[in-house]
Structure 1
Amino acid sequence: MTPTFAQLIRSPVLFLAFGFGSGLARKAPGTFGTLAAVPLWYGLQFLSAPLYLAVIVVTFVLGCYLCGAASKKLGVHDHGGIVWDEFVGYWLTMFLAPAGWLWALYGFVLFRIFDIAKPQPIRWADRRVHSGLGIMLDDILAGIYAALVLQGTAFLIHMI
């Protein structure tokens, strides 16, 4: 069951888990959730590295609760509309990324590729780890993969 926007705004858990409503997109809710994370990242990018990392840790822990509670409320494990995990995964992708919208777009594309393709161990985590942690973990791993590629690209460009 997919909640309506009216149901989302009456439930803080669903509202946050569904990425302020971005997870209600009929097609590709994960992509729309990641897209909704981009403007929020714009503000995060100005934080110091330790503070940015603290935000990632707090939003990850919060996400484990939110995603698990939303799944229970909806009666569906990892409902497609739950996109808080995409928010945190994208923000992790962009940790210490070079400034600029080209890098934001590149990080967006990389994160979506790894989140959709789910190479190992992402696929294992997606299938084997349950609860809110399981919902969050595959996107955290996708964010790490995407961040490594992004940072590697930035390093190579800097070397040229």
Structure 2
Amino acid sequence: MFFTKLYLTFFYSGLSKKASGTVGSIAALPFAYLTLFYLNQFYLIIFSLIIFFISIKIIDNYEKIVKIHDSKEIVIDEVCGVFLAIGLSYNNHFWHFILAFILFRFFDITKPSIIGKVDKKINGGLGVMLDDLLAGFFAAMLCLIFQGLLKNMNLF
């Protein structure tokens, strides 16, 4: 149970009393940066997908024990989502790294459209993980749109 909690709370960042999802997302940023620095964005995307698939079963088992769906302390889903947002849209500019984080948090908190439907209708580990994966995907797509607009205006 020790390693499960360590993993799901992403080194206990999810135990923050306030804004545990944001704290967990911030805790993921140094890992994302180091992955980009030493490897590349392909690996960040792969790490996101590995986390996604591994976490589903771990969360299913954890929820059976604690009897709470999508407990606030579980932030591995935010790690997965922010990794995907940055990985899909990173372009070697630090401002973009920050923009991907902000847009991911926006989509994760507001849960527009299909993100909210997934959050409400899919139970278990899949529901916990999938809404954040979608939030990361939509954040990345919006980042790419911003990049394209800035490039067309010769600002990038």
SS in 1 for 2:113: coil
Q: CA RMSD in A?
A: 1.5
Structure 2 residue ranges without an equivalent (≥5): none
Query: 2:139 aligns to what?
Result: 146
Worse-superposed segment, 26-35 or 93-102? 93-102
State yes or no: 1:83 paired with 2:112: no
Structure 1 residue ranges without an equivalent (≥5): 1-9
Deviation at 1:50, TM superposition (A): 4.2
Letter of the 2:30 partner, please give it. Answer: P
| Distance change in 2, residues 1:49/1:104 (3 Å) | closer
Equivalent-residue separation in structure 2 for 1:37 and 1:51 (angstroms)? 14
Letter of the 1:148 partner, please give it. Answer: M
TM-score, structure 2 normalization:
0.89
Deviation at 1:54, TM superposition (A): 2.3
State yes or no: 1:59 paired with 2:51: yes
State yes or no: 1:113 paired with 2:106: yes
Q: After TM superposition, list the pairs within 5 Å mapping 1:34-49 onto structure 2.
A: 34-46=25-37, 47-49=39-41
Deviation at 1:22, TM superposition (A): 0.4
**Which of 69, 78, 89 lines up with 2:61 in the alignment?**
69
State yes or no: 1:132 paired with 2:125: yes
Deviation at 1:152, TM superposition (A): 1.0
Equivalent-residue separation in structure 2 for 1:52 and 1:90 (angstroms)? 10
| Number of residue pairs the alignment of both structures matches | 151
Q: Does the Cα contact within 8 Å between 2:47 and 2:83 map onto a contact in 1?
A: no
Equivalent-residue separation in structure 1 for 2:34 and 2:55 (angstroms)? 19
Equivalent-residue separation in structure 2 for 1:133 and 1:48 (angstroms)? 27
Equivalent-residue separation in structure 2 for 1:116 and 1:60 (angstroms)? 19
**Which of 73, 90, 98 lines up with 2:91 in the alignment?**
98
Equivalent-residue separation in structure 2 for 1:72 and 1:93 (angstroms)? 30
Equivalent-residue separation in structure 1 for 2:14 and 2:103 (angstroms)? 20
Equivalent-residue separation in structure 2 for 1:89 and 1:39 (angstroms)? 15
Equivalent-residue separation in structure 2 for 1:50 and 1:31 (angstroms)? 24
Equivalent-residue separation in structure 1 for 2:77 and 2:139 (angstroms)? 14
TM-score, structure 1 normalization:
0.87
SS in 2 for 1:45: helix
